[in-house]
């Protein structure tokens, strides 16, 4: 029974990886509906965000359509966290991808660089050549991964008002409270 389950997990893993290969095209571009990579010279305002295990401070931010914001995100927790701006549906999709990566051991709970220490030879059937490490790459302009104790910056231009959340999509973190609201001022 256990063997069957681990096989099923392996199959899921494979599916997950396959999905990552395909889906980034969708996930990566979805932010374009409301924003784009910001330019440093357009920044008028910096918003400081503190991440803990597992919460954000503040829990709500306010922006204007057309505004370019620098987010300075500090991870005061002991776990790896993400600051990702998107719709609830985007977050849900991203959570599935993250889950697949954690299941496969491609990511660790404490560092985004866990990949480096990974023994790829131990993962038969994984075609790394074909993997662009979609969601892991995290050079999307709407998201940043922050190691424990580190601070990262992200410059994002909100082009259009939308119903958005900022969230951490590492397995279990969103559900534990790492989600906040983005309000658009009129």
Partner 1 sequence: MHDRTLSRRQALGLGVAALAFPAASGALAQPAVGRAMPREFNLTLSHVTANITGRRRPAMAINGQIPGPVLRFREGEEVVINVTNRLREHTSIHWHGLILPSSQDGVPGISDGFQGIDAGGTHQYRFPLVQAGTYWYHSHSGVQEQSGIYGSIVIDPATPEPFGYDRDYIVQLSDWTDETPSHVIANLKRDPGYYNYNKRTLASLVGELRRAPDAAARSAIVSDRIMWGDMRMDPTDIEDVGGYTYLVNGYTPAQNFTGVFRPGETVRLRFINSGAMTHFDVRIPGLQMTVVQAHGNNVRPVTVDEFRIAPAETFDVLVRPRDGRQYQMLAESMGRQGFAQFSLATQEGLPALPLPPHRPRPVLTMADMGMNYGPSGLDRGTPMPEVDAPGHVAPMDMGGMGGMDHSSMQMPAGGSQGMQGGSMGDMNHGGMAGMDHSSMPGMNHGAMGGMAGMDHGNMPGMNNGAAGAGAMAGMDHGAMGHGGMAMPDPLVNDVGAPPGARVLSYRDLRAAKPLYPVREPTRVIEIRLTGNMERYFWSINGNSFSQAQPIQLHLGERVRFRFVNETMMAHPMHIHGMWMIPQVGNGAENPLLHTVNIKPGSTLDIDMEVDAPGGWAFHCHMLYHMETGMMRKISVVNSPRTASAG
Count of residues that interact with partner 1, criterion CB under 8 A: 21
Nearer to partner 1, 24 or 77 (CB): 77
Which two structure tokens, joined as six digits, stand for 103? 């299941």
Question: What burial class does residue 60 get, using C-beta atoms within 10 Å of its C-beta: 0-12 exposed, 13-18 middle, 19+ buried?
Answer: exposed
Site for partner 1 in 70-99 (CB under 8 A): 77, 79, 88, 99
Q: Give the contact letters, 29-68, x = binds to partner 1 (CB under 8 A), - = no.
A: -----------------------xxxx-------------
Q: Which is nearer to partner 1, 3 or 44 (CB)?
A: 3
Looking only at residues 157 through 176 of this chain, which bind partner 1 when binding is defined by CB under 8 A? 171-173, 175-176
CB 174 within 8 A of CB 77: no
Which residues, 106 to 135, sit near partner 1 by CB under 8 A? Answer: 109
**Does 8 help bind partner 1 (rule: CB under 8 A)?**
yes
SS3 21: helix
Report the C-alpha gap between 55 and 74 in whole angstroms.
Answer: 12
Residue 113 gets which letter from DSSP?
G
Quote the tokens at residue 169. 């999509």
Cβ-count burial of 127 within 10 angstroms (0-12 exposed, 13-18 middle, 19+ buried)? exposed
Residues that bind partner 1 (CB under 8 A): 1-3, 5, 8, 12, 52-55, 77, 79, 88, 99, 109, 171-173, 175-177
């Amino acid at each position: 029974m256990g063997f069957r389950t681990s096989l099923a997990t392996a199959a899921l893993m494979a599916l997950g990886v396959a999905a990552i290969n395909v889906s980034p095209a969708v996930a990566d571009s979805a932010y374009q509906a409301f924003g784009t990579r910001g330019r440093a010279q357009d920044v008028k305002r910096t918003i400081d965000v503190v991440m803990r295990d597992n919460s954000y401070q503040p829990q709500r931010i306010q922006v204007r359509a057309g505004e370019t914001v620098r987010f300075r995100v500090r991870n005061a927790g002991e776990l790896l966290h993400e600051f990702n701006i998107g719709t609830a549906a985007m977050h849900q999709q991203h959570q599935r991808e993250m889950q697949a990566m954690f299941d496969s051991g491609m990511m660790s709970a404490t560092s985004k660089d866990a990949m480096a220490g990974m023994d790829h030879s131990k993962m038969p059937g994984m075609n790394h050549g074909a993997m662009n490490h979609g969601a892991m790459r995290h050079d999307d302009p709407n998201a940043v991964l922050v190691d424990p104790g580190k601070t990262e910056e992200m410059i994002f231009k909100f082009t259009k008002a939308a119903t958005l959340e900022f969230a951490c999509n590492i397995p279990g973190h969103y559900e534990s409270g790492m989600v906040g609201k983005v309000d658009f001022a009129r």
